[in-house]
């Protein structure tokens, strides 16, 4: 029954007429005037389904979406871990500033605000890494050495002066 209903539609599509109406070219399935010219339309080309393995497009799309979701979840987890580490470092530095302590990760500006200008500054270059050591003379006569690597405190040491 479905084939019988489809057959007349396919036949009607084969009849196409070209006409000139008010200076414009018009195409119609019925003659549109004395100048109507019938155009033969070739039958549609129906391709058979491909032979060989069937392609699961929906499955491929779902797998692609799953991989994208996994990559996003991984990137989000990395960002969250990095954010937490930065927040912890910021809190550590804030607490050290309040306690007037020099800790790793502080900038030269942080140290200068807390201790003032150093009495000596030594710099060196090691590959791509820049190193700097600031020395301070403390009230008890000992020396505080603050070592910076690439612009942040990497270590501190306290040395008693020999008498």
Structure confidence at residue 6 (pLDDT): 45
User: In this predicted structure, what is the pLDDT of residue 44?
Assistant: 86
Domain residue limits, the chain:
102-163
pLDDT digit string, tens, across residues 136-154:
999 899 999 999 999 999 9
User: How confident is the model over 15-45, as pLDDT tens digits?
Assistant: 899 988 888 888 888 888 788 899 888 888 8
pTM: 0.52
Token pair 């403390």 in the structure block, residue: 138
pLDDT, one tens digit per residue, over 82-140 is 999 999 999 999 999 899 899 999 999 999 999 999 999 999 988 888 999 999 999 89
Please provide the CATH number assigned to the domain covering 102-163: 3.30.1450.10
CB 144 within 8 A of CB 153: no
Do the Cβ atoms of 37 and 17 come closer than 8 Å?
Answer: yes
The residue whose two tokens read 């600031």 is: 134
């Amino acid at each position: 029954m479905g084939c019988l209903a489809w057959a007349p539609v396919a036949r009607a599509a084969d009849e196409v007429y070209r006409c000139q109406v008010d200076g414009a070219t018009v195409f119609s399935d019925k003659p549109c005037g004395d100048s109507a010219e019938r155009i033969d339309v070739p039958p549609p080309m129906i391709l058979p389904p491909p032979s060989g393995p069937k392609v699961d497009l929906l499955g491929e799309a779902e797998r692609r979406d799953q991989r994208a979701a996994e990559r996003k979840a991984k990137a989000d987890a990395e960002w969250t871990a990095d954010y937490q580490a930065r927040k912890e470092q910021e809190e550590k530095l804030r607490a050290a500033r309040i306690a007037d302590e020099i800790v790793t990760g502080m900038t030269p500006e942080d140290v200068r605000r807390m201790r003032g200008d150093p009495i000596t500054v030594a710099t060196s270059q090691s590959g791509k890494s820049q190193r700097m050591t600031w020395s301070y003379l403390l009230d008890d006569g000992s020396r505080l050495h603050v070592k910076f690597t690439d612009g942040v405190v990497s270590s501190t040491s306290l040395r008693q002066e020999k008498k």
